[in-house]
Structure 1
Amino acid sequence: MHSHIAEAIKQPDLIRLQPDLICLRFETMKIYSALGAVRHLLDSGAVKPGDTLIDSSSGIYAQALALACHRYGLKCHIVGSTTVDRTLRVQLEILGATLEQVEPSKNLRLDQELRVRRIAEILEENPSYHWMRQYHDEIHYYGYREVADVMDREIPAGPVTLVGGVGSGASTGAIATYLRDSGRDVSVVGIQPFGSVTFGSEHVPDPDMIIAGIGSAIEFRNVRHDLYDRIHWVNFECALSGSVELLRSTGVFAGLSAGAAYLTTLWERRGNSSRTYVFIAADTGHRYVEDAYAQHRGAKGIETLRPHEITSLDELKPPWSAASWRDMSRPAHGS
C-alpha cells in the first residue's frame, strides 16, 4: 500500500507492443526526478520541512514538484510557462503551491529566459528559498534508479535500445546510466526539437513545437552528451503524426514527446531484431488535446515519413533529421 499519491502515480507501466518493442509509460515521469531530488535534499540537510522550493516549469515538473513538496511537508513556488493550463493551475492551487506565469511568448528562448530571470528576482527577495535547478543539478538523476531497477527486472536479458526525449538530462540519461551500471548493454537514442541548443539545433526554428520540455533554448547543464549514441530532431508535424499513430495502433494516449519517440523507435528498429527497443511515454496526452490531437485528421501516415540522415549540424533540416552523435561533425554553433 502506498503512503502518498505521489508514490502511486510515479509507477511506470511496461507495455509490450511487439516482442521486441516496449512502451515505458508514465502518468507523469518527472515525479521520480522530483521525489528523488527532494529526498536527497532532506536527507543531506540542505532543506528542512517547511522550507520553500522554487523552480521553473513548462508543466509536468510543476505538478511533480508540487506533489513532492506535499509529500514531504515543504512549500512550493513555480514560475511557469504559459503552457501551464487551467487544469494544472487548479491542482497546484489546491495542493498549496503558488504559481506565477511569465508573459506569453511565441519564442522558446524568450519564454525560458523570462522564467529564469524571474526566479533570480524571487531568490534575491527570498534568499531562504531553495532553487531546485531541474535543468542543471544532477540530483535529479537519483530518482530514476528505481525506474532502471524495474526495467532490469522485467525486460528479458539482452541488449536494450532506450529512446526518449533528452529534456534536462535526468530521464533518458539517468535511466541509461543506472541500466549500464547493472551490466546491461544499453544504447541511447535521444529526441530533440528543432530550436534547442542542447544538441545544436538552435539555428533551425520550429515555431509550432509545443513540447519545450524535451529541449531548450538555454543550456541544460545536467545533460551528459556522451551518454547518447543517436539523436533525432523531430518537428511538431512528425511528433503529432507519431502520437496519433501510437494511439490508433496501440491505444496508448500519450504526450507529443511519446509520439516523437514512437516514430523514432520504429525507424531505429527496422530490420534489427537483435535488441529490445524501449521508448518513453513521459506523460498522458490530455494537455495536448486542443493544440495537437484536435488536428489528428491532418496527421501524416508515419509510413510516409523518414529522417534526413546527417553527419554535420550544418545539414540539419525539418521535418526530421537523425545522426550518429558520436560521429557528428559539430560546427561552432553546435553543442
Structure 2
Amino acid sequence: MDQHIAEAIGRPDLIRLDERLVCLRFETMKVVSALAAVRHLIDTGAVRRGDTLLDSSSGIYAYALALACHRHGMHCHIVGSTTVDHTLRTQLAVLGATLEQMEPCDDLKLDQKRRVERVHEILAAHPHYHWMRQYHDDIHYLGYRAIADRVRAETGTDRLTVVGGVGSGASTGALTRYLRAADDGPTDVELVGVQPYGSLTFGAQHTSDPDIIIAGIGSSIPFENVCHELYDTLHWISFDAALSGTVDLLRRHAVFAGLSTGAAYLAAHHEHGRTPDRTVLFIAPDTGHRYIDTVYTRHREARPLTQLTPREITDQTELALPWSRMPWNRARTRAA
C-alpha cells in the first residue's frame, strides 16, 4: 500500500497501442524524479525535514516538487513560468507551496532565462534554501531506475527504441541509461529525443516556432544533465505537428495526454513505421487537462498523420518547420 499520493501518481501505466508500439503513460512524470531526489538528499544529510527546496518550473516539475515536499515535510518555493495555469496555481497554494510566477511574456526563451535569474536572486537572499537544479543535477536520474526495471520486465531490451522529449535529460536519458545497463546480458536500446524548434540543447537555437508552448521539452539555457551521447536520433517538431499527434493519439487510442506527448507519439509513430521489427516505447509525461483550450479545442485543425513526414537532415543548418529528423549517433558534442 502506498504511504502517500505522490507514490501512486508517480507510478506509470504501460499500454500497448499497436503491435510493437507502447505508451509509457504518467499522470505527472516528474514526481518520479522529485521523490527520489528529495529522498536521496534527506538520506545523505544534504537537507533536513523542514528545509526549503527551491526551483524553477514551467509546470510539471512544480507540482512534482510540491508533492515531494509534502511527502517529506519540506517547504517548497517555485519560480513559475508564465504558462502555469489557474488549476496548478490553486493546487500549489493548497499544498502550501510558494509560487512566484513570471509576468506574461510572449517569448518563452526569455521566460526561462528570467526564471533562472530570479532563482539566483532568491538564493542570494536566502542562502539556506536548497536549489534542486532540475536542469543541471543528475540526481534527478535516480527515480527512473525502477521504471527501467519495469519496462525491461514487460517489453525486454532486445530491439527496443525509446522516444520522448529531451527536456532536462532526466526522463529519456535516465530511462535509457538504466535500460542499457542491464545485468542479464547485452541490450539493444536506441534513444530518440524530441525537441521544439528554438531549443539550445541540440543546436536549434537559430530557429523559431511562433506557436511554441512546449517549453518543458526544450531549453533556451544550457542543461547540464542532458547526456548528449545517449541519443541516437533527434526529431524537432513544431506546435502544429505536435497538435496533430496529440489529437490523433486521443482519437485513435483514447489516450488523453499533453502536447509534448503528442510530439513524442508523432515521432514514435514514424520510427515504428521505419523499423516495424523493433518495439517502440514513447513517454507520455502528463495528462491533457491543461491543454484543453490551447490544443484540444483546435482538434479540427489536426492533420492526418499520413500527411506528415519529417524532413531528413544531416546538419542543424537544414532545420525547417514543421518537422525535421536527424541522426545524432550518440555524439558527445554539446551545442554552444
Question: Normalising by the residue count of structure 2, what TM-score does the alignment of the two structures yield?
Answer: 0.97
Runs (5+) with no aligned partner, structure 1: none
Local SS of the residue matching 2:213: coil
Q: Give the percent of matched residue pairs that are identical in Structure 1 and Structure 2.
A: 61
Give me the whole-angstrom Cα distance separating, in 1, the residues matched to 2:37 and 2:309: 38
Q: Which amino acid aligns with 2:202?
A: F
By how many angstroms is 1:291 displaced? Answer: 1.1
Distance 1:327 1:34 in 2: 27
Unpaired segments ≥5 residues, structure 2? none
- The answer to whether the Cα contact below 8 Å between 2:79 and 2:102 also exists between their aligned partners in 1 is yes
Q: Which runs of 4+ in 1 moved over 4 A?
A: none
Once the two structures are superposed, what CA deviation does each residue of 1:264-287 show, in whole Å capped at 9, x if it has no partner?
A: 111112152321110010000000
Bigger drift between 176-185 and 55-64 goes to: 176-185
- Aligned partners of 2:91 and 2:274: how far apart in 1? 45
Counterpart of 2:172? 172
Aligned pairs for 1:48-59 within 5 A: 48-59=48-59
Structure 1: how far apart are the matches of 2:27 and 2:288?
10
The one-letter code matched in structure 1 to 2:192 is: V
Q: What letter corresponds to residue 29 of structure 1 in structure 2?
A: M
- The two structures have a TM-score, normalised by structure 1, of 0.97
**Pairing partner for 1:316 from 293, 302, 319:** 319
User: What does residue 213 of structure 2 align with?
Assistant: 210
Deviations 1:1-40 (A, max 9, x none): 1000000111100000112110000000000110111011
CA distance in 2, matches of 1:100, 1:266: 38
Shift of the alpha carbon at 1:292?
1.3
Aligned to 1:266: 269
1:276 counterpart (275, 279, 292): 279
Letter in 2 for 1:11: R
Q: Equivalents in 2 of 1:71, 1:156: separation in Å? A: 32
Q: Do residues 43 (structure 1) and 34 (structure 2) align?
A: no
The answer to whether structure 1 residue 250 and structure 2 residue 237 are counterparts is no
Per the alignment, in what secondary structure is the counterpart of residue 46 of structure 2? coil
Determine the C-alpha separation between the residues in 2 that align with 1:83 and 1:108.
9
2:133 paired residue number: 133
Aligned to 1:304: 307
1:132-163 deviation per Cα after TM superposition (whole angstroms, max 9, x unaligned)? 00000110001110110110111145220000
Cα deviations across residues 79-130 of structure 1 (Å, max 9, x unaligned)? Answer: 0001111111111111110101012111122101110111111111111000
Q: Is this contact kept in 2: 1:165–1:190, CA < 8 A?
A: yes
Q: Aligned letter for 1:245?
A: D
What amino acid is the match of 2:250? L
* 1:69-108 alignment, distance < 5 Å: 69-108=69-108
3-state SS of 2:273 partner = coil
SS in 2 for 1:269: helix
Amino acid at match of 1:4: H
Q: CA RMSD in A?
A: 1.5
**1:34 corresponds to:** 34
Aligned residues: 333
Number of the residue aligned with 1:16:
16
Tell me the equivalent position of 2:297: 294
